[in-house]
Amino acid sequence: MTEDLTALKNKIIETYGTPCAVIDLDIVERNISKAQTLCDSAGVANRPHIKTHKSPLLANMQIDAGAQGITCQKLGEAEVMVDGGITDIIIATNLLGAARSGRLAALQKRLPLKVCADNAVSLAEYSKAATQADRALDVLIECDTGQLRAGVETPVEALALAEIIKADPMLNFAGLLFYPSLDGWPRTQVFYDEIVEGLASIGLQAHIVSTGGTPNFVNIGKLNGATEHRAGTCIFNDLMMVEAGVASLDDCAFQVYTSVVSRGSSDRGILDAGSKTLTADTGGLNGFGRIVEHPTARIHKFAEEHGFLDLSKCNNKPAVGDIVRVIPNHVCVAVNMVDQLVAVRDGEIVDVIPVAARGKLV
């Protein structure tokens, strides 16, 4: 097994160099299957968020495993997914820039999308885009019940938007999008029940009621009326998910293989992966990732292309030239730094998967 790993590391550095982003397809498949089972058991459809992997190939694996469709965060992601054969897509954000650039209309012309809004300005842009596409847009109203991010804060505001959608022949009311905070599910239920009553009074019904988040798998099924769940990170997992208690280290499918390139003194060292590889996003954790081979080593700082190692707590210290594997704190942003993922299975390289929607900012 150790010999296999050494052979794999050598193969990776000789073929791709370091740092190199690697996924284990066996773990990926297990993670996909686990998420599907959790949704199935709760009686809600699975609509994974592809922001984590940004790959049509992996999205299609999720669909083949039973997912209803996918969630995208950017129109550019949806464009890539449509090109990859995916047809059922919610874009879970106010698409102002993409709407005004005409790209929303162009994609809506190709196939019917589901978009989200929490304000009338977005609705007006969506109406224009739908008119330009000559196809009405399905719109979900985004509701905030605890993240203080996007989303209307009251059922009254949600209903006001529903009225605008109802009055617009180019917009169809499709449902409600929630991202409850971990302890916000009871509050979400109250919010939801009030909206549903209001919607009924104007003759509307929320066909889709979506909840979100990998950590929220612990709550899945707790919103009476929910029809779908969208989770992203669970396909790969990361230290944040381990910290949240929803994954173990063995469930982490993504690792960056990186070389120890310098050992300035006994207690310190430098990796060839820095913030331009693993990102400065700590996800609220201490340090920047876990080194599988040296769990007591600490990546305490990043320069752009350097990871700073504190080896003071290590008995067995890595040497210059060693290749080590790092599990990132936050995998979604780390995947977005690379153009491709080297896929392994049983210690063998079996595929190279393009991160086709990497960097799609619009």
- Binding residues for a copy of itself (CB under 8 A): 13-20, 51, 73-75, 93-94, 96-98, 100-103, 118-119, 121-122, 125, 144, 148-153, 258-259, 261-265, 268, 270, 272-273, 275-277, 279-282, 303-306, 308, 319-321, 332-333, 336-339, 358-359, 361-362
User: What is the C-alpha to C-alpha distance for residues 175 and 162, in angstroms, rounded to an integer?
Assistant: 9
Closest distance of CB 33 from a copy of itself, Å? 25
Closest distance of CB 314 from a copy of itself, Å? 17
Question: In sequence order, what are the residues at sequence separation of 6 or more whose Cβ sits closer than 8 angstroms to the Cβ of residue 327?
Answer: 238, 239, 249, 252, 254, 255, 289, 290, 292
CA distances from 258 to 42, 236, 293, 338 (A): 40, 19, 12, 14
Closest distance of CB 97 from a copy of itself, Å? 3
Q: Which of 47/74 has CB closer to a copy of itself?
A: 74
Closest distance of CB 359 from a copy of itself, Å? 6
The closest of 261, 264, 289 to 275, measured between CA atoms, is 289
Q: Which of 168/272 has CB closer to a copy of itself?
A: 272
Q: Which of 42/81 has CB closer to a copy of itself?
A: 81
The closest of 332, 344, 251, 327 to 31, measured between CA atoms, is 251
Q: Which of 34/103 has CB closer to a copy of itself?
A: 103
The closest of 300, 263, 261 to 280, measured between CA atoms, is 300
Phi, psi (deg, nearest 5) at residue 82: -65, -45
Q: Which of 18/211 has CB closer to a copy of itself?
A: 18
Closest distance of CB 78 from a copy of itself, Å? 13
User: What is the C-alpha to C-alpha distance for residues 361 and 355, in angstroms, rounded to an integer?
Assistant: 14
Q: Which of 86/99 has CB closer to a copy of itself?
A: 99
Q: Which of 93/210 has CB closer to a copy of itself?
A: 93
Q: Mapping DSSP to helix (H, G, I), strand (E, B) and coil, where does residue 317 land? A: coil
Pairing type for strands 290-291 and 45-46 reads unpaired
Whether the Cβ atoms of residue 265 and residue 83 lie closer than 8 Å to each other: no
Closest distance of CB 361 from a copy of itself, Å? 5
User: What is the C-alpha to C-alpha distance for residues 185 and 179, in angstroms, rounded to an integer?
Assistant: 9
Closest distance of CB 250 from a copy of itself, Å? 25
